[in-house]
Amino acid sequence: MMVRGQLALVSARPDLQALPGSNVLQQIVNGAEAWSLVIALLGAFIGAGLWAVASHTHNHHYAARGRMAALISGAAALIVGAAPGLVNFFAHLGATAK
């Protein structure tokens, strides 16, 4: 679109109240984050328990599996917790691009 010989500038500002149902979408995101953290916590508990029992019974294969489950669950919780901050960081970075 041309305006007086120049390209028209466009802009966008995220607004959670701009569309109907946005509050429901925010509740879904909040609920999904809570469920994800609960599942990660459960995975960490199960992995740590498996790691402890398998180590005590000298079953090295299952001990390694339990350790991996506990570490992956911790990494999943880190990603879930950091995701909103990362999205906001990159959205801000993208908004400053010219």
CB half-sphere exposure, 62, CA atoms < 13 A: 12
| Dihedral Cα 85, 71, 48, 32, nearest 10 deg | 30
Q: What is the pLDDT of residues 6-53, one digit of tens each?
A: 677 777 888 888 889 889 999 999 999 999 999 999 999 999 999 999
What is residue 13's predicted lDDT score, i.e. its pLDDT? 83
Using CB atoms within 10 Å of the CB of residue 64, give its burial: 0 to 12 exposed, 13 to 18 middle, 19+ buried: middle
CB half-sphere exposure, 8, CA atoms < 13 A: 5
End-to-end CA distance of the chain: 18
> What is the model's pTM?
0.78
